[in-house]
Every structure is written in C-alpha cells, then in structure tokens.
A and B are shown apart, each in its own frame.
Chain A
Amino acid sequence: MCEELAHELDVRGLPPPEPFELIIGALQTLPAGEFLHVRIHREPYPLYEVLRDGGYAWQTTELKDGSFFIRISYGQ
C-alpha cells in the first residue's frame, strides 16, 4: 500500500473566517493527486458547499477530543 502525499493544516482555535481562508488558500496550491489533512475545532459546514462546488472530495472524522479531522483531495 503506498503512502499518500499529504499536507497538514491545523486551524484549531482560530476565529472565523481564518480557518476558512487558510483552508481555501492551501487548496489553491494543492498539487493534483495530493491530499490536505485539516485539524479543526468545529465541523465547517459552509466549507463543504464550497468543496462540492469546486469539485473536491472530502472525508470528515470526529476525534475523541471533540475536534475534527478532514481529508480533502481534488476530484477523488
């Protein structure tokens, strides 16, 4: 099994709209075929709409400490 190429982004504890700006900024430079791993303190519902419109795929996992881990890639 090959390891996926992932970029890490931790936006826990940042006030809106900083998490949103940082995630969008990171996605704009994300090379095709690579992943963005995001740690965030709230589930970012408005982001999902933007990801859907932009053709991204994502998977959200709630962690034990109440924060969320989101794995985003373009079109996969």
Chain B
Amino acid sequence: MKTIPLNTQQAPPISVPLRFFTVAPLFLMLAALILLSGKYNPFANMHSPALLAATHCITLGFMAMVMLGAIQQIMPVVIVSPMPATRLTAWLAILPLIFGALLLAAGFMQGNPVLLDIAWPLLGLAFVTLIAASLISLARSPAHNATKTAILLSIITLGGAIALGMLLAHGYASGLLLPYDKLATAHINLSLGGWVLLLIIGVSYQVVPMFQLTPNYPEWLAAGLTPAIFFVLLLNLLSLLLEFRPNWLVIVVQGMFWFLASSFAAATLVLQSNRRRRIADPTLSFFRLGMVVLLCTAMLALATLFFPSNDRFVTLSAELFLLGFAMSLINGMLYKIVPFLVWFHLFRGGVKRAVPNMREIIPEHWMWLHLRLHRGTVLAAVFAPWWNVAVWFVSLGLLMQGMLLVYVLFTAISVYRRSLQRLEESSP
C-alpha cells in the first residue's frame, strides 16, 4: 500500500491557531461579567465605561483573537503563502493582545489613564506584528483571487482602525484636545465596516461554496464588492474631514455602505438556498443567522439616518452588527476550522484508522446547543438598550457561550492528542 503524504509544511503548527482560539472565549466570559458589574444599564448609554470595556473585550479579546488565529491558518491555504516566522509572529501577537485587551478594559472601567497608556502600545505591538506579517505573506503570494484582494483591503483598514484607536486611547489618557466624536466614528467604521466585514467577505468566498456546497459567488460580485466597500469607507473618512458634514452626504455614504453590505448578505442567502446537499448543518445555520441579522442591521442603520432618534438605536445597530452578524459568522467558521485543522494535522501520513472522521471531532449536538444559546443572546440584545432585565440575559448568554466554546475546543484538542498517540503507537 502506498502512503501519500499530505504536505503540511506550508501550514503553521496546529498549536498556533488553537492557542488564539482557546484564549478567545475567556474574553467573552469577561465581557459578560463586566456587563453585569455596573449599577446602571450599560446599553442605555453608548459611552458608558462598562459598555466600552465589554465591547473591546468582545472585539479585541474574542473577535480579533479568533480572526488573527484563523488568518495565520488561512493564508497558506487560500493565497498559497504562509506567514513569515510563524511561531515568533504568533507569540509577538498573542501576548500583547491578551494583556493589551485586559488593560484597556480595566482602563475604561476605572477611568484610569495609566492603564490606558500601557494598553495602547501593547495593542499596537500585537497588531503591527500581524499586519506586517500579513503584508509580507500577501506580497509573496502568487495567487490572484478575490479573497486575496479582500484580505489586503481588510488588513489596510485594520491598520487605520488601530492607529485611530491608539490615538483615542492616548487622547483620553492624556486629556488631549481632539475631535473625539469624529475620530471614534472613523475608528468604528474602519474596524467594523472595514477589517471585520471585508475579512468575513473574503473568507466567505472560500468557506461558503467549499463547506456549504453552494455554487460560487458570481465573479463580478466577488471581484467588485470589497473594493467598492473600501472606496465607500475612504469616502466616509474624507467626509469626516469636513468641518460640517451635510446630512445628505451622510445619507449617501452610509446608504452606499449598507447597500453593499446587504448585497453580500443577500447573495450568500441565495447561494445557500441553492446548495447541493439539503442537510441541516449548524455552521450553515450560524451563517444564515448572521446574514439575516446583517440585513436587519442595514435597515435599522438606514432608518436611524432618515428618522434621527435617540442614541439607543445607534447602540442597537452596533450591537446587532457585532453580536448578531460578526459573532454568528465567527462561531460558524470556528466549528468548521477547528475540526478541519485537527483532521488535517492527523491525516499527514495518509488514511489510517486512528484518524477520526471530521464529524466526530466536535459532536454536533454541542454546536446546535451553541446556536440556540447564541440566538437567545442576540434576541436579548435587541431589548437590552431599553429593558434592564435583558442585560442579564445578554450577559448570561455570553458567559455560557464562552464556557461552551472552551469545553468544545478542549474536546477537539483531546481528540487530537489521543489520535496522535494512537498513530504514533501504530507506526512501525
């Protein structure tokens, strides 16, 4: 019998992405505890310390942690170009990201300038490391595809978002006179509309057709969508430079952005309705939830432009984008990436009995339970800006999702270790 080796030299060691993935849920739990700690409803005021701290635990500690772990794995597969100095890059990113996110959250909660001033250089180090490594990887890549473009644009917007975030944190800490509202708007637009949305779109171009067995995204859409979103984000930045932004300009720019974001959601839902195998799949359901919430967020965000109301609707659209859209997709991708990684690293020597089936690595009933928990959390988040009791449900939901993710990730790691041991025992 011939043994056909699977070339894993391009891929980083399995410990690199798994390290990021296992730390991330701890920040979900921390965000939950922070939301519960305040005397008042943190969702009622978008500038409340608890909401700022919890939001950054989710965006930096959970979302960026998973996305940065995944990008190191995805680069060699999708653009045929690994990150340089994989292990060193991972350590130089994960440690300052963990401590930076913790100190930033503590700095917001306590209003402590010293903590903020320690946090922003640490976060800067983490992101500059990953941005530099990603750009080197992109420059070396021979691939020419829509995913590569999306990753490049996403990394550029991440650079802008991080620079603005560092300036804001330093400004708050030092009491600098800065146009905080405009800087915060640009920071949020580049972080969520740029880095998060563009990366999710780029990865979806691969993950949706491959794992959900749908047709490919139409070529014109895949090629044009992320550059168009990037262009609109630049327009938005330029409009913020104006001393006074006329309302019509805000409506035009925001309208274009949400139209493009909705096009992605609608295209994904249409592709999923044309999938080859109509079998229930938790990843597909996480993606569908995310796309439906993205459409709802777009409608809500546009409604707030035409019918200016109070800040709580703005908080709600940000919450929906983060928890309902981005977190749904990140959870869904985790449930494909982690079992695939375990299988991929065990399969190296070819087909053997000790290599488990991908479906056995994380039992599906845990994924369905997670989906139900997540739906409940998103539903509670809809009411949270107005109803204090809902804050408890959001917090409880985030806490339980964090615990569940830790459990399933360690389950996958233990399957990997046991299988590897069996493979080593059975090899001559």
Interface residues of A (CB under 8 A from B): 12-13, 15-17, 21, 24-25, 27-29, 41-42, 46, 49-51, 53-54, 74
Contact at B6–A21, with CB atoms within 8 Å?
no
Task: Give 27 A-B contacts (CB < 8 Å), ordered by A residue.
Answer: A13-B213, A13-B277, A15-B211, A15-B213, A16-B340, A17-B340, A17-B358, A21-B351, A24-B4, A24-B350, A24-B351, A28-B2, A28-B3, A28-B4, A29-B1, A41-B276, A42-B210, A46-B77, A49-B7, A50-B4, A50-B7, A51-B4, A53-B4, A53-B5, A53-B7, A54-B2, A54-B5
Residues of B close to A42: CB separation below 8 A: 209-210
Residues of A close to B3: CB separation below 8 A: 28
CB under 8 Å from chain A, chain B span 28-42: none
Interface string of B1-45 (1 = CB under 8 A from A): 111111100000000000000000000000000000000000000
Residues of B close to A54: CB separation below 8 A: 2, 4-5
Q: A39 CB to closest chain B CB, in angstroms?
A: 13
* Bound complex: CA A15 to CA B4 (Å): 21
Contact at A28–B350, with CB atoms within 8 Å?
yes
Query: Which chain B residue lies CB-closest to A23?
Result: B4
Top 5 A-B residue pairs of the complex, sorted by shortest distance between their CB atoms: A54-B4, A13-B276, A25-B351, A28-B1, A24-B4
Given the contacts A16-B210, A42-B210, A27 and B340 also touching, CB distance less than 8 Å: no
Q: B205 CB to closest chain A CB, in angstroms?
A: 13
* Bound complex: CA A16 to CA B339 (Å): 11
* Bound complex: CA A16 to CA B201 (Å): 20
B321 within 8 A of A: no
Interface residues of B (CB under 8 A from A): 1-7, 77, 209-211, 213, 276-277, 340, 343-344, 347, 350-351, 358
Residues of B close to A41: CB separation below 8 A: 213, 276
Give the A-B contact count at a CB cut-off of 8 A.
48
Residues of A close to B340: CB separation below 8 A: 16-17
Contact at A15–B5, with CB atoms within 8 Å?
no
* Bound complex: CA A50 to CA B9 (Å): 12
* Bound complex: CA A13 to CA B213 (Å): 7
Given the contacts A28-B2, A53-B7, A54-B5, A16 and B211 also touching, CB distance less than 8 Å: yes
* Bound complex: CA A15 to CA B276 (Å): 10
Residues of B close to A24: CB separation below 8 A: 4, 350-351
The residue that A15 contacts in the complex, of B277, B344, B350, B351, with Cβ under 8 A, is B277
Query: Which chain A residue lies CB-closest to B277?
Result: A13
* Bound complex: CA A26 to CA B314 (Å): 56
Residues of B close to A17: CB separation below 8 A: 340, 343-344, 347, 358
Contact at B213–A50, with CB atoms within 8 Å?
no
Q: A66 CB to closest chain B CB, in angstroms?
A: 8
Contact at B351–A50, with CB atoms within 8 Å?
no
* Bound complex: CA A74 to CA B2 (Å): 10
Query: Which chain A residue lies CB-closest to B336?
Result: A16
Residues of A close to B358: CB separation below 8 A: 17
Query: Which chain B residue lies CB-closest to A27?
Result: B4
Residues of B close to A29: CB separation below 8 A: 1
Residues of B close to A13: CB separation below 8 A: 213, 276-277
* Bound complex: CA A41 to CA B358 (Å): 20
* Bound complex: CA A50 to CA B1 (Å): 16
Given contacts A15-B211, A17-B340, 13 further A-B contacts (CB under 8 A): A15-B277, A16-B340, A17-B358, A21-B351, A27-B2, A28-B2, A28-B3, A42-B209, A50-B4, A50-B6, A53-B4, A53-B5, A54-B4
Residues of A close to B4: CB separation below 8 A: 24, 27-28, 50-51, 53-54
* Bound complex: CA A42 to CA B212 (Å): 12
* Bound complex: CA A11 to CA B361 (Å): 22
* Bound complex: CA A12 to CA B213 (Å): 10
Residues of B close to A21: CB separation below 8 A: 347, 351
Residues of B close to A25: CB separation below 8 A: 351
Given the contacts A17-B358, A50-B4, A50-B7, A28 and B351 also touching, CB distance less than 8 Å: yes
Residues of B close to A51: CB separation below 8 A: 4
Residues of B close to A12: CB separation below 8 A: 276
* Bound complex: CA A28 to CA B1 (Å): 6
* Bound complex: CA A24 to CA B4 (Å): 7
Query: Which chain B residue lies CB-closest to A22?
Result: B351
Q: Which of B1, B213, B277, B344 has its CB near the most chain A CB atoms (within 10 A)?
A: B213
* Bound complex: CA A24 to CA B344 (Å): 13
